[in-house]
Amino acid sequence: MHSTLKSSTEVIIRFSEVDSLTIVWHGHYIKYFEDAREKFGRDYGLGYLDVYNYGFVTPIVKVECDFKKPLKYGEKAIVEAIYVNTPAAKIHFRFKVYNAANMELVATGSSTQVFLTRENFELYLTIPDFYAAWKKKVGIKE
């Protein structure tokens, strides 16, 4: 049995990311999610280039974000990408964003990716062999 697979990364809120209300513009969280998802990819060997080398690309088909508290310029956020296993030929993550000062949860979200063949962008409806092998390697049972 595997424990939860997750990675986290730290983001310092940039001046350019803060809007006239002095809080992070909501669209930037999508980038923070990607920062954490990429960190997961590096930590567990499921990065863009890993997948690419196996002959696939994995575009996002769904993303969502719930905003609970604002983040302000200069604050530090901890962004967590939590891998959610699914039997489908998809990669699913949940995200949690915390204010590092008090570890208050400031946003949550999720993303879903599918597998396309690298060469002609054909949707792959079954789990690619490399992905099944990756799941096994990281300790996911089914």
Candidate residues 1, 3, 4, 16; the one interacting with its own copies per rule CB under 8 A = 16
**Choice between 1 and 21, CB closer to its own copies:** 21
Residues 33/9, Cβ–Cβ less than 8 Å: no
CB atoms within 10 A of CB 36: 27
Binding its own copies (rule: CB under 8 A), the pick from 1, 45, 46, 73 is 73
> Which conformational region is residue 17 in: left (phi greater than 0), alpha (psi within -120 to 50 degrees), or beta?
alpha
Write out the two tokens for 47: 């990065």
Q: Which of residues 2, 45, 53, 64 is near its own copies by CB under 8 A?
A: 64
If one asks whether residue 45 binds its own copies (CB under 8 A), the answer comes out as: no
Task: Assess contact for 13 and 72: CB atoms under 8 A.
Answer: yes
**Least distance in Å: CB of 142 to its own copies?**
27
> Interface with its own copies includes 124 (CB under 8 A)?
no
Residue 15, judged by CB atoms within 10 A of its CB (0-12, 13-18, 19+), counts as exposed
The yes or no reply on residue 48 touching its own copies (CB under 8 A) is: yes
Cβ closer to its own copies: 23 or 140? 23
Take residue 113 and report the two structure tokens written for it.
């990716």
- Catalog residues that contact its own copies under the rule CB under 8 A: 12, 14-16, 18-23, 25-27, 30-31, 34-35, 38, 47-49, 57, 59-68, 70, 73-74, 121
